[in-house]
Amino acid sequence: MRQAPPVTSHVASRTHKFGGSSLADAARIQHAAQLVDDGTQRRVVVVSAMHGVTDALIGLAHQAQRGDDWLPGWQALKQRHLDTARAVTGAGLDAAIAADFDTLHTRLVDIAPRAPLAPAESAWIHGLGEVLSSRLMHAALGGEHAGWLRLDAREVLVVHPGELGVAVDWEASRRRLAAWRSTRDVRQVVVTGFVASDAQGRPTTLGRNGSDHSAAIFAALFESDALTIWTDVDGVLSADPRLVPDAVCLPMLSYAEACELAYFGAKVLHPQTMAPAIQRELPVHIRNSLNPDAPGTLISASSTAASAGASGTPVKGLSVAQGLAVLELSGGGLIGVPGTAERMFASLHAANVSVTMISQGSSEHSICCVVDAAQASAARAAVEAAFAEAIAEGQVQGVTVTPDISVLAAVGDGMVGKTGVAARLLSGLAQARVNIRAIAQGAGERNISVAVAAADAQRGLRAAHAAFWLSPQTLSVGLIGPGNVGQALLRQLVQAAPRFSGDHDLDIRLRAIANSRGMHLADKALDPSSAVDALAGAEPLDLERFTEHVRAEHLPHAMIVDCSGSDAVADRYADWLAAGIHVVTPNKHAGSGDWTRFQSIQAAQRRGGRFRYEATVGAGLPVVQTLRNLLDTGDALHGIEGIFSGTLAWLFNKFDGSRPFSELVLEARALGYTEPDPRDDLSGTDVARKLVILAREAGLALSMEDVEIENLVPPTLRDLPLDAFLARIDEMDTDMQRRLGDAQERGGKLRFLACLDADTARVGLAVPEPGHASLHGQLTDNLIQFRTARYPDNPLVVQGPGAGPDVTAAGIFGDILAIAQTFGARA
């Protein structure tokens, strides 16, 4: 096997620590033994129990206490170690392992059912896994013949309980280690992790996950130059990968950053591991024994090289502490009263309640802290007792407890003195609709902590992780209406996806698709190139379930793209927006339909998700945005006029009398310029809807009933079945030819225009004055003129192709990206 590459320059001595996952079986143990061959002169290897063994030993002790049959579990555990030992070194360890298990057997027999187990006896049983593991690793390294010694940590490591956990008696431990070394040539040694002795020589442990602490302790006792902790991940990650799959491995951390992340639950590190390393300025490497080529994470005293995380962000990582509650003491009598905080926290200390986070406003009206949920009742009782008199007199309103709380912490040395860090965190949470219950930042500026509802924790963590560019901004998307425009959008998503995920930190994740009959909901993501095919076996359409699926709690942002043209779907917009779901659509019903519904949508947008509908008016042209910019900058609208239909633009650009009008309509239908039923275009209704949308955008309470609409389809043809209409479409020609002739006699041309001014809202045929911009459009060009106070005589014109699925899809895509930018995507 290839030796693991060094992470830092050569050191004279190194301590290695292997966790249980790195020692899960014989193959892993032999692999770990090869990783130790790092070229150093002196090596110390600290080992945990094999994976799952400590839990099994604890289970055996509990079974013995309950009077249950523990023998099958004991036999299985013994056989596992014997099998592993034989795979590592033949039968050389059988006797030693059998003796250890015989002793365990005796101790389990001696446990009196339903009687308390002495702490020393419990510690001996719980720590046997490390003793067995040290034998296996010692043998895998070649044993004494290869110059390796084995040390049971209980012979030298002396600890005692402390206020902050287990504390090391360094003087006694150094003295005992010196005595142990005095009779041995100690250059290479395997040490049991997790276990220790108290001052009376009785077995004890460093607590669950204490092997990392053991490694740091023995690195200090043996005066190693570096400590490598081998685990089953590539290093310290920017967030818990179970909650944030896009979490990245951090190449470097300072001790302060590592301590913060460890306290808030970074699973790779035990919080107490850092103390011995900090005291000796010992560099600590976190590496993956299953992927030794990965460089891992270096934790050191210097933070200059590690001051910024991925993409230059000041935040290195984010962690979430769960299972908490907010305890709040409030009342006007607290204002300006000295000693309030002291009395509150003294009462919590007396009740042995640990405080995770503290927050108090400058008004001093209330003070709150975050405590473990299991201690919330005791904490409340303690504080109520401490302020009983003030509560009785009404000076203090009382003590409230808010359960189901998580604390999200952003950590990084690069936050120190950096403006805007808190703003970016809070903005990211706000965009994901995560409400903050309390906030705290230490004077060291390396940590900003916020308390949020537990139900929002994962969504908040992902939003914050993306806000600091540690992972792409993830947008959960549901598409309704995969017709021509919807499919064009899917094609554009396929083409753009690599660019956005690579250059713009944006992950547009299509998770649901629906048509009028059915829907398909994907657990992870749909490939846009084959999303329509997923509807072949679709389940019946249920917009409630569709909505719930798109608005996944584990994803920070959600959007529904409605390409359906359905009035019933438009009825859902207000509810979606109120729930924080962004809506993008070319569907004109919401913007031009029922006035009350339109007002509800506008109100929901102000307090919830964003509503973008650029494609409702000019396909991919920036018509709505141009009008919005004019009005937002203080301009006054005098009138709107123009060609709002690419279909009608093409027809009247082509209609010069050389060919019948009906023939042009049929050609436009064949080219895909018209709706399947051309009467939808010829009726003028679509143009009227666009005019109403712009009028409402300008603040006018205009509805379709207020618009004078000229329908080009003769009354006799309007209600026919489509086939019958197409068979008789030439009945339109006589009147259209007459209208054209009248225009030509006046030296003009026909155009289908929409007009809005102070007195009129009209769509229909017109003969524009010479020089009118509509006379110079190209084929399917839309052309919209805005006459405003700034542009009174020479109107501002927006012109370009206004028909076709590709340009409409481009308008929709533009709206998607515009919304993505509001929550931090660099699109």
pLDDT tens for each residue of 753-805:
999 998 899 999 999 998 888 888 888 889 999 999 999 989 999 999 877 78
Q: How confident is the model over 59-75, as a mean pLDDT?
A: 95
Here the tokens at position 657 are 């009398």
pLDDT of 259 higher than 90: no
Residue 556 has pLDDT above 50, yes or no: yes
More confident residue, 44 or 186: 44
Structure tokens, 104: 């365990």
Q: What is the pLDDT of residue 10?
A: 56
Task: Decide: 288 and 296 in contact? Cβ < 8 Å.
Answer: yes
In angstroms, the Cα distances linking 192 to 34, 85, 154, 571 are: 19, 17, 8, 67
Joined together, the tokens standing for residue 399 give 């003590």
Strands 473-480 and 557-562: parallel
Q: Does residue 66 carry a pLDDT above 80?
A: yes
Asked if the domains 13-232 and 474-619+813-823 are classified in one and the same CATH topology, the answer is no
Overall CATH class of domain 317-468: alpha beta
Each as own residue / partner, the long-range contacts of residues 623-630 (CB below 8 Å, 24 or more positions apart, any chain) are 623/694, 623/782, 623/784, 623/798, 624/693, 624/694, 624/697, 626/786, 626/796, 626/798, 627/694, 627/697, 627/698, 627/786, 628/697, 630/786, 630/788, 630/790, 630/796
Please answer whether residues 297 and 250 qualify as being in contact, where contact means their C-beta atoms are separated by less than 8 angstroms. yes
Residue 366: count other Cβ atoms within 10 Å of its Cβ: 18
Into which CATH architecture does domain 13-232 fall? 3-Layer(aba) Sandwich (3.40)
**Secondary element (H or E) of residue 275:** helix 274-280
| Model confidence band, residue 457 (pLDDT cutoffs 50, 70, 90) | very high
pLDDT level of residue 163 (50, 70, 90 thresholds): low
Q: List all residues 6 or more positions away from 459 whose beta carbon is below 8 Å from its beta carbon.
A: 432, 434, 553, 554, 555, 556
pLDDT tens track for 428-441: 888 888 999 999 88
CA proximity to 403, closest of 437, 429, 432:
437
Contacts of 463 (CB under 8 A, 6+ apart): 428, 429, 431, 432, 434, 556, 557, 823
pLDDT value, residue 8: 45
* Residue 750 pLDDT level (bands cut at 50, 70, 90): very high
User: Whole-angstrom Cα distance, residue 329 to residue 365?
Assistant: 9
pLDDT value of residue 483:
92
Would the pLDDT of 827 be above 60? no
pLDDT band, very low/low/confident/very high, at 81 (cuts 50, 70, 90): very high
Residue 503: per-residue pLDDT: 60
Rounded-to-10 torsion of CA 165, 170, 176, 182? 140
Which of 258-262, 547-551, 611-615, 820-824 bottoms out in mean pLDDT, i.e. has the lowest? 258-262
Residue 267 near residue 209, CB atoms below 8 Å? no
**What residues contact residue 611 under an 8 Å CB cut-off, 6+ apart?**
573, 577, 582, 583, 590, 601, 602, 604, 605
- Each residue's pLDDT tens digit, 277-309: 888 889 999 999 999 999 999 998 865 544 444
Q: Judge whether residue 627 has pLDDT over 90.
A: yes
Tell me how far apart the terminal alpha carbons of the chain are, to the nearest angstrom.
Answer: 45
Higher pLDDT, 404 or 446: 404
Q: Which range, 181-190, 205-214, 241-250, 414-423, is most confident?
A: 181-190
Cβ atoms of 206 and 198 within 8 Å: the answer is no
Region of residue 143 (phi > 0: left; psi between -120 and 50: alpha; otherwise: beta): left
Residue 531: which of 485, 487, 587, 586 has the closest Cα?
487
pLDDT digits (tens, 9 = 90+) for 713-730: 999 999 999 999 999 999
Q: What is the mean pLDDT of residues 323-336?
A: 85
Whether residue 469 is predicted with pLDDT greater than 80 in this model: the reply is: no
User: What percent of the chain clears pLDDT 70, i.e. is strictly above it?
Assistant: 94
Residue 397 pLDDT class (50, 70, 90 cuts): confident
What is the rounded CA–CA span in Å between residue 144 and residue 151?
12
pLDDT value for 418: 75
- Pairwise pLDDT comparison (39 vs 47), residue with the higher score: 47
Q: Binning pLDDT at 50, 70 and 90, where does residue 446 land?
A: confident
User: The domain 474-619+813-823 belongs to what CATH superfamily?
Assistant: NAD(P)-binding Rossmann-like Domain (3.40.50.720)
Among the residue ranges 304-308, 517-521, 619-623, the one predicted with the least confidence is 304-308
Place of tokens 């052309």: 783
Domain boundaries, the chain: 13-232, 317-468, 474-619+813-823, 623-801
The pLDDT, as a whole number, for residue 306 is 40
* Catalytic annotation present for 690: yes
Select which of 17, 78, 316, 690 is catalytic: 690
- Give the confidence band of 1 by pLDDT, cuts at 50, 70, 90: very low
Res 474 pLDDT > 80: yes
Residue 4 has what pLDDT? 40
pLDDT tens-digit series, residues 521-551: 998 889 999 999 999 988 999 999 999 999 9
What would the mean pLDDT of 660-681 be, rounded to a whole number?
A: 93
Percent of the chain past pLDDT 90, that is, above it, reads 66
Give the C-alpha separation, 486 to 171, whole Å: 73
Mean pLDDT in residue range 310-329:
82
Give the integer Cα–Cα distance in Å for 581 and 486. 19
Rounded Cα distance, 300 and 12, in Å: 17
> What is the model's pLDDT at position 504?
64
What tokens were used for 119? 């702490």
Q: For residue 618, what pLDDT band results from cuts at 50, 70 and 90? A: confident
Q: Which of the residue ranges 195-209, 210-224, 463-477, 540-554 would you say has the lowest mean pLDDT? A: 463-477
| Mean of the per-residue pLDDT values of the chain | 89
Model confidence at 577: pLDDT above 90: yes
Residue 310 has pLDDT above 50, yes or no: no
pLDDT value of residue 114: 82
Q: For 357-373, what is each residue's pLDDT tens digit?
A: 998 876 667 889 999 99
For residue 151, pLDDT beyond 80: yes
Place of tokens 């210097």: 302
- Would you say 226 and 283 are in contact if contact means Cβ atoms under 8 Å apart? yes
If DSSP states are collapsed to H, E and C, what string results for 392-404? HCCCCCEEEEEEE
Examine the pLDDT at 467 and tell me if it is beyond 90: no
| Mean pLDDT, range 510-524, rounded to an integer | 93
Amino acid at residue number 152: D
- C-alpha 246/C-alpha 232 separation (Å) is 17
Q: How many CB atoms lie within 10 A of CB 552?
A: 17
For 623-801, the fitting CATH number among 3.30.365.10, 3.30.1490.20, 3.30.360.10, 1.10.3720.10 is 3.30.360.10
Instruction: Report CA torsion sign: 484, 488, 489, 491.
Output: positive
**Residue 427 in tokens:** 């903005």
Nearest to 447 by CA among 415, 486, 489, 495: 415
Specify whether the CB–CB gap between 159 and 153 falls below 8 A.
Answer: no
